[in-house]
A and B are shown apart, each in its own frame.
Chain A
Amino acid sequence: MSTQSAENTNILHVEHVTMQFGGVVAVNDLSLDVNEGEIVALIGPNGAGKTTAFNVITGVYEPTNGLVSFRGTPIIENHPKGKMKKLYQGDAPLSYDKSIVKTPDRITKLGIARTFQNIRLFKKMTVFENVLIARHMRSNANFLSATFRLNHAEEAANREEAMRYLEMVGLADEKDELATSLPYGKQRRLEIARALATEPTLLLLDEPAAGMNPQETLELAAFIREIKEKLHLSVFVIEHHMDLIMEISDRIYVLDFGKLIATGTPEEIQNNPRVIEAYLGVGDEDA
């Protein structure tokens, strides 16, 4: 529905990415695309390599081989070198020769924000400060002007922005509480608020519905669609809850043992025999 006009504007392009830890190939020859305005899902059984793929895209891991580009500019490009070349076990062709690895902070600055599967909030900070942190990167102050409060106009604007994101996720009342004192579901929402405050154009959500009941999951689905429209985002989501995935995604990629086994619309995926064999059987038991 939302994809018609934007089909052609590719924003995230992943090509032949392989991530190998010693002899274990966690992600093998993964290629995928996320287009402007889409909600794309990456699904697969536990240990299929989904979070590893996220970690490569956001620069946490340096891939063994492959290319990631964002809005046409390569942000990560790599190929196995030296000793690793001999040990390389992936299937992707070794055609990349440059070595660009942008650090996670640079990638965030370009407009990719993420949440974490195992919530990683700043434990000793308040809810408000957790969101305010995300504004640091977008401010122009250097440490001297910040120390001597020459940036108070900008700081005030940042505080207002942070408040706006907290209101968006419905945590304005808890703003002065310690982040870790929030209940689980609210911590997840705080992570999303924090990610949104970095002003991304692509939002990566790593199992946002983990630990939520069906009612909360439905609310989350509505919320994801709402922020997508409101902030003109593209969303790339890893999830286990099939109802959430089928509800919100425009396209789905299925990963099994590090390899892509299927891709298509929710209907196509639901009827794909390989996917049913590899995943949906397990998924039904989960749900």
Chain B
Amino acid sequence: MDFASFFSKNLPYLLAGISVGGQYALIAIGYTMVYGILRLINFAHGDIFMVAGLLMIYSTTVFPLWVSIPLTIVVTVILGMMVEKVAYKPLRSAPRMSVMISAIGVSYLLQNLALYVTGGLAKPYPAIPGISATVTIGPATTKWVTIITPFLTLLLVVLLMQLINHTKIGMAMRAVANDFETSRLMGIQVDAVISMTFIIGSFLAAVGSLLYFSNYPSVVPTSGAMPGLKAFVAAVFGGIGSIPGAVIGAFIIGISENIIKGAGWTTFSDAFTFALLIVVLLVKPTGLFGEGAKDKV
């Protein structure tokens, strides 16, 4: 099979992969930033993403789009901050395992809450004009969201990098990620930095959910679990703590899993992600762009 025919055959999957990759990237940034600062796998992050999807569904039944989109984003950000304040902050000096269990508990709570609110019914996701419309590129028919996602993702990442590299709060974030205790001693408001991290993470998850669910007919309470885990894998793959790493990792995972689906191996598209995770952890635990761990005996 020559390249051209391979390309045209796989173009729909490639496009879908790039799009999903961008959406994973937006979630993965939340994981990687939180891990960088708190050394915590925020298991609830995927569920916050799912809640953002439900918020959008419920708010569009009441408000017009130009109200419900910002409303969804704001409420998601508040939720993300609240989760940190209620479930992680009290455990700051507890062993890492306790915090992780707390994260799993929050995930369980959010899913059950969603189950209760939706009554277990799949809720159809509203069409968002402009991004839900279909478009044809060569042999592939897809939605506009597929085209928009990678560009929007890259734009947001560039803005985020500017924030981290050129503002005072960004500098504080880098300092806290580097050395939590010393930063505290140097007078950095560690709690404010952590809140900021959760705000950014939740904001990006909310934007990601707008894009992601536009591609799917409906949202169910477990909708966030798998994308969440995959985004986390992307973060590990790119080198946990590194934002560009997470973005590149997310695109690679998004594209690979769609190519695998295209090849008729759908059963293994999720398994592939985890296999990749295990290989990375064993061969290069610091990921593509991660820094070496500094463990003391």
Q: Residues on A close to B: CB < 8 A?
A: 55, 60-61
| Inter-chain contacts of A55 with B (CB < 8 A) | 297
| Inter-chain contacts of A61 with B (CB < 8 A) | 297
- Bound-state CA distance A55–B297 (Å) is 9
- In the complex formed, the residue of A with least CB distance to B296 is A21
B277-297 residues with Cβ-Cβ distance < 8 A to A are: 297
CB distance from A63 to the nearest CB of B (A): 14
Per DSSP, chain A at the interface is loop
- In the complex formed, the residue of B with least CB distance to A55 is B297
| Inter-chain contacts of A60 with B (CB < 8 A) | 297
| Inter-chain contacts of B297 with A (CB < 8 A) | 55, 60-61
B238-297 residues with Cβ-Cβ distance < 8 A to A are: 297
Q: How many A-B residue pairs have CB under 8 A?
A: 3
Q: Residues on B close to A: CB < 8 A?
A: 297
- Bound-state CA distance A180–B286 (Å) is 36
- Bound-state CA distance A61–B297 (Å) is 9
- Bound-state CA distance A60–B297 (Å) is 8
> Shortest 3 CB-CB distances between A and B: which pairs?
A60-B297, A55-B297, A61-B297
- In the complex formed, the residue of B with least CB distance to A52 is B297
CB distance from A53 to the nearest CB of B (A): 13
- Bound-state CA distance A44–B144 (Å) is 70
- Bound-state CA distance A63–B297 (Å) is 14
- Bound-state CA distance A128–B192 (Å) is 47
- In the complex formed, the residue of A with least CB distance to B297 is A60
CB distance from B122 to the nearest CB of A (A): 47
CB distance from B293 to the nearest CB of A (A): 13
- In the complex formed, the residue of B with least CB distance to A21 is B294
- In the complex formed, the residue of A with least CB distance to B292 is A22
CB distance from A197 to the nearest CB of B (A): 23
- Bound-state CA distance A69–B288 (Å) is 39
CB distance from B286 to the nearest CB of A (A): 14
- Bound-state CA distance A60–B296 (Å) is 11
- In the complex formed, the residue of B with least CB distance to A60 is B297
CB distance from A118 to the nearest CB of B (A): 10
CB distance from B292 to the nearest CB of A (A): 9
- In the complex formed, the residue of B with least CB distance to A22 is B292
- In the complex formed, the residue of B with least CB distance to A116 is B297
- Bound-state CA distance A114–B272 (Å) is 46
- Bound-state CA distance A254–B297 (Å) is 23
CB distance from A114 to the nearest CB of B (A): 13
- In the complex formed, the residue of B with least CB distance to A51 is B297
- Bound-state CA distance A55–B296 (Å) is 12
CB distance from A174 to the nearest CB of B (A): 27
CB distance from B294 to the nearest CB of A (A): 9
3 contacts between A and B (CB under 8 A): A55-B297, A60-B297, A61-B297
- Bound-state CA distance A61–B296 (Å) is 11
CB distance from A162 to the nearest CB of B (A): 27
- Bound-state CA distance A60–B295 (Å) is 13
CB distance from A279 to the nearest CB of B (A): 25
CB distance from A49 to the nearest CB of B (A): 14
CB distance from A205 to the nearest CB of B (A): 18
- Bound-state CA distance A42–B285 (Å) is 37
- Bound-state CA distance A61–B295 (Å) is 12
CB distance from A155 to the nearest CB of B (A): 31
CB distance from B284 to the nearest CB of A (A): 14
CB distance from B254 to the nearest CB of A (A): 33
CB distance from B140 to the nearest CB of A (A): 45
- Bound-state CA distance A155–B297 (Å) is 32
CB distance from A87 to the nearest CB of B (A): 13
CB distance from B160 to the nearest CB of A (A): 30
- Bound-state CA distance A6–B297 (Å) is 35
